Amino acid sequence: MAIILNGNDLAKKIRTKVKAQVAGMASPPGLAVVIVGDDPASRFYVNNKKRDCRICGIVSHEFALPENIGEDKLLALVHELNNRPDIHGILVQFPLPKGYDAKKIIHAISPDKDVDAFHMLNAGRVLYGEYDFLPHCTPAGVMELLDEYSINLKGKHAVVVGASNVVGKPMAMMLLHRHATVTICHIHTVDLASFTRQAEILVCAVGKVGLITADMVKPGAVVVDIGFNYKEDGGVCGDVDFDAVSQVASYITPVPGGVGGVTRAMLMRNTANAADMLSCK
């Protein structure tokens, strides 16, 4: 039976450190959270982020906009937030409703306040390994989780299933910087199982229920499930068949209780670090 990589416990540790960091500041950092429309999943995520802000002593500023606000007004708000001295982090909750250019919105956010690290400048820093202050929250959270359990990455074969700009690609780069040998798979990969069976470290971030089954996992592999899916019964699950794969893997993340909470904790850390950086400018 695999050892559970407990993200909830690690998230608490990170938030405690962030709270101490914030307590030492002259004034608390401000995080602007922009939500467009009334998507229930987005509202769930935003409420959790606001709760984490309260725990860490970060001031949360919510901007709830109607779905038909329009791209120009959304961009105008982002530019306003870029210039507000009481705002140190800006987060636009994705996905946006149809008709909005997500890339345009992302690139309008000041890189210094881009606490999601989606801006091309911050994304480029990952390529060079220069992401100490504003890393992508989910991949950085995975790295923290692996470190928490002293999982050695050097020389290991890591397979990342998912090649998005915000999770899969930066995840691969972070593993590469820690001297893992990395393979990236995606929706067009032929015979996915032939790659996943080679993985000593298997990270899945696709968003498809039951994608990774026990026969696709190398015995003793470390399995990190970043997927988040809603089940028909109203519950949530990842991309990995947890019950079966946990009998094969050496370590595994649950969903929920794995990567999600650590991701939000990393957002709090990024916001505090952004405030520190901006205070030095």
Catalytic residues: 49, 93, 116
Within 10 angstroms of residue 188's Cβ, the number of other Cβ atoms is 7
Q: Tell me how far apart the terminal alpha carbons of the chain are, to the nearest angstrom.
A: 51
Tell me whether the omega of the peptide bond preceding residue 219 falls within 30 degrees of 0, making it cis. Answer: no
Contacts of 217 by beta carbon, 8 Å cutoff, 6+ apart: 196, 197, 199, 202, 223, 245, 248, 249
d(CA 262, CA 137): 8
User: Residue 102: how many CB atoms within 10 A of its CB?
Assistant: 12
- Tokens 């899916």 correspond to 229
Residue 206 and residue 188: Cα distance in Å, rounded? Answer: 12
Q: How far apart are CA 211 and CA 162, in angstroms?
A: 11
